[in-house]
A and B are shown apart, each in its own frame.
Chain A
Amino acid sequence: MSATTQGSGVPVCPRCRSNTTEVRGVSPVAGVWTVYGCDTCFYTWRSTEGEQNTNPDKYPEVFRLKPENLPKLQVAPRIPPLQPKAQ
């Protein structure tokens, strides 16, 4: 297993380095590309993109995210209080 893949062969997320990734889709013409997605930070990438988008070690520092910081992101729009149900 390399630094950039999980045991199943699905890569770790280049952006947040979580293992919560899966194949989202494959090219209709077989074997051209695979699209992966992360269920932690929702980063999406295509296997044929450059290393800055696909390799966690080459992913630009400025765009990296830490899973523990995701709940602290600004919420917009705010969620309003629930209205009491009419009887």
Chain B
Amino acid sequence: MRAYQDFREFLSVLEQQKQLLRITDPIKLEPDMAAASAAATKLGNRSPALMFNNIAGYQNAQIVTNVHGSWANHALALGMDPETGVRDQFLEFVRRYRMFPGQLERVTSAPWQEVVIDKDINLFEILPLFRWNQGDGGFFIDKPCVISRDPDDWNNDDVENVGVYRLQVKDKNHLGIQTVPQHDIALQLAHAEARGEDLPVAIALGNEPIITLMGATPMLYTQLEYKMAAVMQGQPYRVVQNAKGLDIPYGSEVVLEGRILARKRQPEGPFGEFPGYYSGCHQYPLIEIDRMLHRKDPIYESVYVGRPWTELDYLQALTTSAPIFDQINATFPEVQAVNALYTHGLVLIVSTKVRYGGFAKAVGLRVLSTPHGLGYAKVIIVVDADVDPFDLNQVMWAMSVRVNPAGDVLMMPNLAENLLDPACQPSGMVTKMIIDATMPVPPDTRGDYGEILETPMGTDTWLQKLEALTKELQK
């Protein structure tokens, strides 16, 4: 467990661990940023962050992508050994998640106050903005932490919100924001708009890695992301409160202060989104930026979104799996783990002990009624406790031999779904499916299973021995 003071400290740790690659060749914002970042996602479990510092049109601009873009970087963000496997990262993430809440630490100044711009703001000239995918409607800030409060409960820190919402830069000081109805900020905006008031926001860019993960976590409305970040890093979370009362991470590079304009909508999009398809164009809310603060020579961070897997899939992997696990395990302690790694949990795998025939199907149904399950979980595979849901070889084995489609596939028509899922019919509605890939137990007597093969005695000892010998061999 480790608390990174700011974005730069984390980048220096990535560099020490050989998990950051400096690209000093001259690059053009389009198409090089997208091409290089897409290529980085294809490098596997040790894919590094990329830092660009020779950008056409700028003297000193620096852009970093793929900061969370591998299991090694994800582990380092959590202060763990970069070799830690996915299952172990999941178990540690859940352990810390259950220590909620931690504490806020309010301080009065931060490095991002070095430069203040409060007139003639032109985002296009200050930030190295660019287009990710060719059909995107413009240049998007897509890895921000957007901070807001509830106008109906302004002084309640627990309902302050930190969320990662895509922002389209519309003109010199206006941003479009995607606040789909399931997001916490949509609730706060509704309260402000019912009053006819603008909603103050602060937008923090280039953050230490934990708060970005927390902003991407579908936690409860009354759970403050900073208090979750505190338990994730093992120390109180340091923030600076601005004049409006919004708490801003100490460790950010750039802060934009502004307002979501009350009762106004404007064309936004398309944007290449997490399902691997463009989102289409909608009438979305608009933010006016009043003030901008940044460190000298700020480092701009962005996340490439393309056909999975990309950095985005790491960002929403354990941050999706852990809350669903926590919520269903509270009802069914038999549940061992949840793998919601695939496309923000549109497909997910649950492992559970099975108390009696039909039990696994009930576990699958429980997933559908979690907050994230309501809008995302579409195909749920339930496996036994002897199957590691993060090991797809094991999951496919269970699917191969423990499923009889005649009795193990449940189809439920016309359930709610995120409108970004292109399979919806109509938009926002879909049929969901549970596949029971557990072995039947009484009173379910289907199949002819006989005795399962055991792992030979002494395998674990031999595994350790062979691992050591293999390492020697590779020296």
Are A and B a genuine interacting pair, yes or no? yes
Footprint of B on A, CB under 8 Å? 15, 24-29, 32-33, 35, 37, 39, 41-46, 48-50, 52-53, 60, 62-63, 65, 70-71, 73-83
B168 interface contact, C-beta 8 A: yes
List the A side residues contacting B195 at CB < 8 Å: 82-83
Residues 124-183 (chain B) with a chain A CB within 8 angstroms? 124-125, 129-131, 134-135, 137-139, 168-172, 176, 179-181
Docked Cα-Cα span, A41 to B283, in Å, equals: 10
Q: Which of B134, B281, B285 contacts A73 (CB 8 A)?
A: B281
Docked Cα-Cα span, A50 to B463, in Å, equals: 54
Docked Cα-Cα span, A43 to B270, in Å, equals: 10
List the A side residues contacting B268 at CB < 8 Å: 42
B18 interface contact, C-beta 8 A: no
CB distance from A13 to the nearest CB of B (A): 11
Q: What are the 6 A-B residue pairs with the smallest beta carbon separation, nearest first?
A: A25-B124, A27-B57, A44-B138, A32-B57, A75-B283, A25-B125
CB distance from A45 to the nearest CB of B (A): 8
Are A32 and B282 interface neighbours, CB within 8 A? no
Docked Cα-Cα span, A83 to B196, in Å, equals: 8
List the B side residues contacting A35 at CB < 8 Å: 124, 129, 139
CB distance from A80 to the nearest CB of B (A): 5
Footprint of A on B, CB under 8 Å? 28-31, 56-59, 61, 122-125, 129-131, 134-135, 137-139, 168-172, 176, 179-181, 186, 189-190, 193-196, 263, 265-268, 270, 281-285, 419
Are B170 and A42 interface neighbours, CB within 8 A? yes
Jot down 25 A-B pairs with beta carbons below 8 A, ordered by A. Answer: A15-B137, A25-B125, A27-B58, A28-B57, A29-B56, A33-B57, A35-B124, A35-B129, A42-B137, A43-B137, A43-B138, A44-B138, A44-B169, A46-B130, A49-B30, A53-B134, A70-B283, A73-B267, A74-B283, A76-B284, A77-B180, A79-B265, A80-B190, A83-B195, A83-B196
CB distance from A49 to the nearest CB of B (A): 5
CB distance from A42 to the nearest CB of B (A): 5
List the A side residues contacting B263 at CB < 8 Å: 79
List the A side residues contacting B57 at CB < 8 Å: 27-29, 32-33
Closest to A24 in B: B124
Q: Which of B31, B135, B137, B172 contacts A62 (CB 8 A)?
A: B135
List the B side residues contacting A79 at CB < 8 Å: 193, 263, 265
Tell me whether A46 and B172 are in contact in the complex, defined as CB-CB below 8 angstroms, given that A28-B57, A63-B135, A80-B194 are known contacts: no
Are B194 and A82 interface neighbours, CB within 8 A? yes
Q: Which of A49, A65, A73, A77 contacts B179 (CB 8 A)?
A: A77
List the A side residues contacting B186 at CB < 8 Å: 77
CB distance from B375 to the nearest CB of A (A): 13
Are B56 and A70 interface neighbours, CB within 8 A? no
Tell me whether A26 and B125 are in contact in the complex, defined as CB-CB below 8 angstroms, given that A33-B57, A48-B56, A73-B281 are known contacts: yes
Q: Which of A41, A49, A60, A77 contacts B181 (CB 8 A)?
A: A77
Are B282 and A76 interface neighbours, CB within 8 A? yes
Docked Cα-Cα span, A50 to B61, in Å, equals: 23
Docked Cα-Cα span, A12 to B283, in Å, equals: 22
Q: Which of A29, A52, A65, A83 contacts B194 (CB 8 A)?
A: A83
CB distance from A27 to the nearest CB of B (A): 3
List the A side residues contacting B31 at CB < 8 Å: 50
Tell me whether A37 and B58 are in contact in the complex, defined as CB-CB below 8 angstroms, given that A73-B282, A74-B283 are known contacts: no
Q: Which of A43, A46, A82 contacts B30 (CB 8 A)?
A: A46
Known: A24-B172, A33-B57, A65-B281. 4 other contacts (CB 8 A): A27-B56, A33-B56, A42-B267, A60-B134
Are A41 and B267 interface neighbours, CB within 8 A? yes
Closest to B195 in A: A83
List the B side residues contacting A74 at CB < 8 Å: 282-283
Tell me whether A48 and B30 are in contact in the complex, defined as CB-CB below 8 angstroms, given that A42-B168, A60-B135, A77-B180 are known contacts: yes
Are A32 and B56 interface neighbours, CB within 8 A? yes
Tell me whether A29 and B59 are in contact in the complex, defined as CB-CB below 8 angstroms, given that A46-B29, A80-B193 are known contacts: yes
Docked Cα-Cα span, A48 to B282, in Å, equals: 27
Tell me whether A73 and B190 are in contact in the complex, defined as CB-CB below 8 angstroms, given that A24-B171, A42-B168 are known contacts: no
Q: Which of the listed residues A42, A70, A78 has the most CB atoms from chain B within 10 Å of its own CB?
A: A42
Docked Cα-Cα span, A53 to B31, in Å, equals: 11
Are A53 and B56 interface neighbours, CB within 8 A? no
Docked Cα-Cα span, A41 to B268, in Å, equals: 8
CB distance from A20 to the nearest CB of B (A): 11
Q: Which of the listed residues B134, B169, B281 has the most CB atoms from chain A within 10 Å of its own CB?
A: B281
CB distance from B52 to the nearest CB of A (A): 15
List the B side residues contacting A77 at CB < 8 Å: 179-181, 186, 189-190, 285
Are A73 and B58 interface neighbours, CB within 8 A? no
CB distance from A82 to the nearest CB of B (A): 5
Q: Which of A53, A65, A71, A82 contacts B131 (CB 8 A)?
A: A53
Docked Cα-Cα span, A26 to B170, in Å, equals: 15
Q: Which of B172, B190, B270 contacts A25 (CB 8 A)?
A: B172
